[in-house]
Amino acid sequence: MYVNLATSAGRPGRPNEDFVGAVPGAVVLLDGAGIPGAESLCSHGVVWYTRHLGAALLAHLSYDDGRDLAAVLASAIVETAAEHCDTCDIADPRSPQATVAVLRVNRDSLDYLLLADSFLVFDLAGGSFHVITDDREVTARRECSVPLDGLAPGNPEYDRVRASCAEALRARRNQVGGYWIAKDDPCAAQEAVTGSRPLDDLDGLALCSNGASRIVSPYALTDWPGVLELLAAEGPAGVIRRVREAEAPSGGSEFRVPDDATVAHCTFDTTCHPEDRRRGEHPDECDSTAPHGGSRSRGRGPLVRGHRAQRPGPVSP
């Protein structure tokens, strides 16, 4: 498996709260989240949390001990929580947290885990595609935003109702019937979307953070087959560049607030032995390292668990 990574902070002068990294046979992508004004709860901050959780995940994945990905994530959450539980109020809903996406290649299959709203895009052999996401947070935000319908922003009543909606959304975090995210509770790992696919089914795949997925929705610059085409032509940096171009100030009335954006693009060579494909060995015989490998026509495939045709509600957790 050959991996090409790109990440970009949403705004100059602010740290990138995303994390992406890889070890032989595995990739991790995190999208950190925190609540403005909650710095007193955790002196370390969101960037610290995502980097420590990401490092713990990569360390466990490098052991290759055969545990399922939910167990690996649970261990990483416990270890990261232990690093700051004595100094920070990690149980508070506003303390640092992160979405999680993990890929691991075995001898003849690929395992995946998604917790919250990152996207996994499979580039399937034969030219089709398949998208997987965990849309429970988006659904919860939309439901909690219903009281804002009909209220105009910029007045005290709107601000009061919006604060109430945000509190309702936080109350659903890591709760049955709500949504799940990596934070302090290892039980969240067991609620992740997980699965496996045979390697023979795949030509490649991509992981996109929520900020990078904006290229499809809400910006509608392309669809998921178009994202795969763009990755083949320009790599992950090309996807992020298109997102940033859409967010650049213009003379139009719409203002788009940039978000951190991260993409991991993984490719395989079907002529390789599965174990070589996993470890990325024998590059002379099985060279799929080049990120600009041309494009091919793809039919439309299913988008499962997370159709993003609508914007999420205006409530932030």
Q: What is the pLDDT of residue 5?
A: 98
Q: Three-state SS for 28? A: strand
Tokens of 223: 């669809």
Q: What is the pLDDT of residue 40?
A: 65
CB 264 within 8 A of CB 237: no
Q: What is the pLDDT of residue 315?
A: 53
**Is residue 71 classed exposed, middle or buried when 0-12, 13-18 and 19+ CB atoms within 10 A define those classes?**
middle
Q: What is the pLDDT of residue 303?
A: 37
Total-model pTM: 0.83
CB 209 within 8 A of CB 263: yes
Can you name the CATH fold of 2-137+179-304?
Phosphatase 2c; domain 1 (3.60.40)
Query: Which 8-state DSSP code applies to residue 92?
Result: S
CB 261 within 8 A of CB 8: yes
pLDDT in tens, 90-147: 777 778 899 999 999 998 999 999 999 999 999 999 899 999 999 998 899 899 999 9
What are the residue ranges spanned by the domains of the chain? 2-137+179-304
Q: What is the pLDDT of residue 42?
A: 73
Return the amino acid letter for 164. S
pLDDT tens for the chain, 317 residues long, are: 999 999 999 988 889 999 999 999 999 999 998 766 666 677 678 899 999 999 999 999 998 888 999 999 999 999 999 988 778 877 777 788 999 999 999 989 999 999 999 999 999 998 999 999 999 988 998 999 999 998 988 889 999 999 999 889 988 988 898 999 999 999 999 999 999 999 999 999 999 999 999 999 999 999 999 999 999 999 999 999 999 999 987 655 455 788 999 999 999 865 554 455 444 443 333 333 333 333 344 444 333 333 333 334 455 55
Q: Which helix (H) or strand (E) holds 176?
A: none
